[in-house]
Structure formats: structure tokens, C-alpha cells
Amino acid sequence: MKRIRTYKQFVYEGVFSLKSISYLLLTSVIVTAAAGCSAAAPGAVKPADTAAPKTSGTGAPPASGPVTLRVGGIEYPYTKAVNEAFEKKYSNIKVEWNPGNNDFEDGSIQALLRSGSGPDVMVVSSGPGRVGLLSNAGLILPIEDAMKKYNIESRYQKWVIDQTRVQGNGKVYELVEGVDVFSVYYNKEMFQKYGLKPPSTWEEFLDNCAKLKNANILPIAAGFRKGIGGGWMLGNLVEAAAGKDRMTDVIFGKGPFDQKEIVLGGEMLKQLLDAGYVNGKDASAIDQAQAQAAFLSGQAAMTISSQGFIASERKKGNDVNKFDTFLLPSREAGRPARPSAGLAHSWIVNATTKNIDAAEKWLDWVSSEEYLKVVAANAGSLVPVVEATSKVKNDPAIEKASEMLKNGAGYNPSVYLPAKAKDAWYAAVDSITAGGSPAEAFKAIEAEMAKAKQTK
């Protein structure tokens, strides 16, 4: 019989195990936060010279004989299946898979691309704080030519292409693999046992937490180690507090990050910590994957996460029928509750590739209905943003996350902030968890946002 580890064991193991684990209705605000990214993150490289960049339609002519396409980055449960299906579709192209080298924070992706030995195409974490580093440094190609050649733009939900084009200063540098949609996952059996129901107000949410704590049940499992899980939770709280319109102005306009409505999200986090509804000490010691495992094993009643972990558990054959999800209630009357979301992963093209034709065929492939079907049949866990999604049967958790997007979505700021501001965002969670002032923590984020906007 499989031994269930306790939450405390997850905490202890979290010190030694560093396992790492976006729907936006973007109005046409032609302002970008991406320009300030390259000078900000550890490992960032100097900007490229002012020569006009190559595009995905330039380079050597397509080879007539066999071609090896080097593909790399984040490895999914379906990677092997989609690689084999691509080779079957294009018999003259051999896929050479190169996993890993996905860390922007330590500069490993930048170093790999600068070395000239990196993959022709890679799937990496999305957004200006990540892909923006690479495009600003001239390490990846715009993919506009491939999009025109294969009519790729028409396949995507409009907001996705609009957003990536704004982030790329008018050019598209990334082809989105999927999005993460964040909400509160809860144990239906625990809720039923203690007479609880999904809340319609913040006060009802706190009341649920209090009843669970009084029953010696941890209300919310959280993992803040390395920042990712804390960023997820704080992003969800900020959406409930301030809404997507304010955050759109902050990220793409001139709105201040430290305005009171946004700071309220930090105050909500502090409220949960101070009341013991989130155990700050334990959350600081483990990552979100370990917090998800604690939730799944019944050691907490709720966790704030994206849809992927439930879909993955179902694919493993585990019973997840006792889990469901709800949206944190809006703190403003008349504003609907929405999930926070963010572009999760994107495909990019190496600026030094010699296999442009094969790379373009790959972009055509990963945006196709045929690709989506292979992904869905092999444990895909992201919410697709290609229009053909409606023709594909996905996991129920993915279907529900997609349904949540109908009223729009807020932001997962971890994806959208410039690199230094993203670091300050993660640091804000650590500061609030340690007892610091949410107002001061958000002032630090605003200071980095202001610096990034000045460099535009």
C-alpha cells in the first residue's frame, strides 16, 4: 500500500526538493511592458545591435533531403506522441528531442541560445518577463512570416495574438501552447461534512476557513518556495480585490501597482496568514507541487492552483471526483468573479537555426487541430487557446477551466511583469508571509514597474 506522507513531511522534504511546477481579454492599449525586461533578470544578456532582425521566413532554403529538427524545452506527458506524429506527417524530417534548459532566472536558456548549439525550436515559459528577455536580446526570431505562410493567426483566439504582438513591440515572437487558469480547488467531502458551500462573498470565504480550522483541518494548502505558488495565490487575491481592468492599466498602461484596490489583495493574503488559514511557516518551506499533494491526500480542504494537477491525477487513474473548484468572490459590488490566468508556455524559434523551413512546419503543426487531438489523448493539462479546441475532447478539469474564462479573466502577474518587477512580486509574498506590510511590499513592485516603463 502506498504510504501517505503528512503535510509536515512535505514541509521537511521541501527544504531539499526543488520541484518547480494566462486568459486575458486585452483591450487595445498599445503600450508594452516587455521593453524593460532584458536589463532586469539575472543572466540577462546585452541587447542585440540595431540591425534589422531576421524573421522566420529568412535563412537557408529548405533542404530537399532528410532534415533533423532539434526541438527542446519543457517536456510534457504527450511530448513523445506529438514528436512521433510530426515525423509521420513529415517523413523527411527527424525530430531530435532536447529536454530541459528551461530556467530564465539563472540565465540557462539565454546561455544555451547564445552558444549556437541550442534547439531550432523550444517551448518555454511565456510572457514579457521571459520570452521578452530573449526577443530584446536578439536570441529568437519573429514568427510573423510563418504565421502568414500557414495562416496561423486565424486559428487562435484573437486576444492571444493581440497580447503577444503588444508584448513583442508589434511583432509576434511566441506561439502559445496553452494557458493556466487559477481558482480555488476544494474537497467536496470535507465541505459537505461541515455544512459548507462555495462562498459568494469574501466574508463567507473567511467563515468557511474559520469552521475548518476549528475542526482542526488546515483550510488552505500553500507552497511559496521559489515564488511560483505564492505568485499564483496572490494573483488570485488581487483579481478578487481589484479586477482585470485595473491590472490591465497597471501592466500595459500607466496605472500604479501600489494603488489601494490592488494593495487590498496583499492585505487579504495577510488576513489569511494572520488567522492561520494558511500556515506561513510551512508554506515558505515547500513548493506548490507539494502543497497540491497535501491537498490531494486530504491534509487540507482547499488550495489555489491551475487545472493541470487535477487533470494529471485523473490521467494516472486516481479518483478525483471528490474535488471541485470555485472562483474567489469579487470584493466590488457589480463586478463578476473571475479566475486569474496567464499564458503558460510558448514555442520560440532560435535566431541561429539553419532549419527555417522545418521550424515553420513545426509551428504549423503545434497550432493544428490534429496536434490538439494528440495532446488531449496523451494527458495534456493546459487550457488550449486555438479555436479548434471546441472540436477536441479534453479532461473535465480543462473543460471547466475553459468554461470559467467566459466572463474573462484576471492576470497571473508572474507571467506579465517585467523581470525585476516579477522578482519583487515574488518577494512581496515572502515579505507579507514574514509579517511585513502589504503596502510597502507593493511599493517595491511599483518602483520596479516604474523603472521598466522609463526604459521604453
The span from the CA of 131 to the CA of 16, in Å, is: 29
Task: Report yes or no on 227 lying in a domain.
Answer: yes
State residue 43's pLDDT score: 33
Once rounded to an integer, what is the mean pLDDT over residues 219-237? 96
Which CATH number fits the domain that encloses residue 371? 3.40.190.10
Average pLDDT of the chain is: 86
Confidence of residue 455 (pLDDT cuts 50, 70, 90): confident
* Tens of pLDDT, residues 304-363: 999 999 999 998 999 999 999 999 999 999 999 999 998 899 999 999 999 999 999 999
Return all residues near 218 (Cβ < 8 A) that are at least 6 apart. 7, 212, 279, 299, 300, 301
Both 200 and 221 in one domain: the answer is yes
Both 142 and 212 in one domain: the answer is no
164 neighbors 158 (Cβ within 8 angstroms): no
Both 329 and 347 in one domain: the answer is no
Confidence of residue 401 (pLDDT cuts 50, 70, 90): very high
Task: Report yes or no on 16 lying in a domain.
Answer: no
More confident residue, 357 or 252: 357
The span from the CA of 97 to the CA of 424, in Å, is: 35
Confidence of residue 367 (pLDDT cuts 50, 70, 90): very high
pLDDT at 426 over 50: yes
pLDDT at 14 over 70: no
307 neighbors 401 (Cβ within 8 angstroms): yes
Once rounded to an integer, what is the mean pLDDT over residues 261-277? 98
The span from the CA of 289 to the CA of 309, in Å, is: 8
Residue 130's alpha-carbon distances to 108, 158, 288, in angstroms, are 12, 22, 20
Once rounded to an integer, what is the mean pLDDT over residues 84-95? 97
The alpha-helical segments, DSSP class H, found in 332-437 are 356-366, 369-377, 396-404, 413-416, 419-433
* Tens of pLDDT, residues 300-318: 999 999 999 999 999 899 9
Pairing type for strands 302-305 and 121-125 reads unpaired
Query: In the listed set 364, 386, 404, which residue is the last one of a domain according to the structure?
Result: 404
Locate 53 and state its grid cell: 532582425
Residue tagged 529538427 (cell numbers): 69
173 neighbors 135 (Cβ within 8 angstroms): yes
The CB density around residue 330, as the number of other CB atoms within 10 Å, is 19
pLDDT at 3 over 70: no
Once rounded to an integer, what is the mean pLDDT over residues 188-194? 98
Q: Would you say the C-alpha torsion 112, 115, 116, 117 has a positive or negative sign?
A: negative
* Tens of pLDDT, residues 34-58: 333 333 333 333 333 334 444 444 4
Cα distance from N-terminal residue to C-terminal residue, the chain:
58
Both 259 and 366 in one domain: the answer is no
Both 273 and 190 in one domain: the answer is yes
Confidence of residue 456 (pLDDT cuts 50, 70, 90): low
Task: Report yes or no on 15 lying in a domain.
Answer: no
Confidence of residue 166 (pLDDT cuts 50, 70, 90): confident
Task: Report yes or no on 6 lying in a domain.
Answer: no
State residue 122's pLDDT score: 97
Locate 417 and state its grid cell: 511583469
Q: Which of 252, 299, 223, 251 is nearest to 414 (CA)?
A: 251
pLDDT at 160 over 90: no
Query: In the listed set 368, 385, 404, which residue is the last one of a domain according to the structure?
Result: 404
Task: Report yes or no on 34 lying in a domain.
Answer: no
State residue 52's pLDDT score: 42
Both 140 and 69 in one domain: the answer is yes
Both 350 and 319 in one domain: the answer is no
pLDDT at 105 over 70: no
Task: Report yes or no on 24 lying in a domain.
Answer: no
Locate 293 and state its grid cell: 499533494
The number of domains in the chain is 2
The span from the CA of 26 to the CA of 248, in Å, is: 7
Return all residues near 440 (Cβ < 8 A) that are at least 6 apart. 431
DSSP string covering 398-418? HHHHHHHGGG--EE-HHHHS-
Return all residues near 317 (Cβ < 8 A) that are at least 6 apart. none
Residue tagged 475532447 (cell numbers): 393
Both 239 and 255 in one domain: the answer is yes
Task: Report yes or no on 315 lying in a domain.
Answer: yes
380 neighbors 293 (Cβ within 8 angstroms): no
- pTM (predicted TM-score): 0.77
167 neighbors 131 (Cβ within 8 angstroms): yes
Q: Facing residues of 111 across strands?
A: none
Residue tagged 497540491 (cell numbers): 292
State residue 288's pLDDT score: 94
Count Cα atoms within 13 angstroms, Cβ side, for 100. Answer: 3
Confidence of residue 33 (pLDDT cuts 50, 70, 90): very low
Query: In the listed set 368, 386, 404, which residue is the last one of a domain according to the structure?
Result: 404
Confidence of residue 101 (pLDDT cuts 50, 70, 90): low
Both 426 and 277 in one domain: the answer is yes
The span from the CA of 26 to the CA of 159, in Å, is: 6
pLDDT at 1 over 60: no
Residue range(s) defining the domain that contains residue 353: 42-179+342-404
Both 288 and 143 in one domain: the answer is no
Both 198 and 316 in one domain: the answer is yes
The region of weakest confidence among 287-301, 362-376, 403-417 is 403-417
Both 80 and 158 in one domain: the answer is yes
Q: 247: part of which helix (H) or strand (E)?
A: helix 244-252
Task: Report yes or no on 22 lying in a domain.
Answer: no
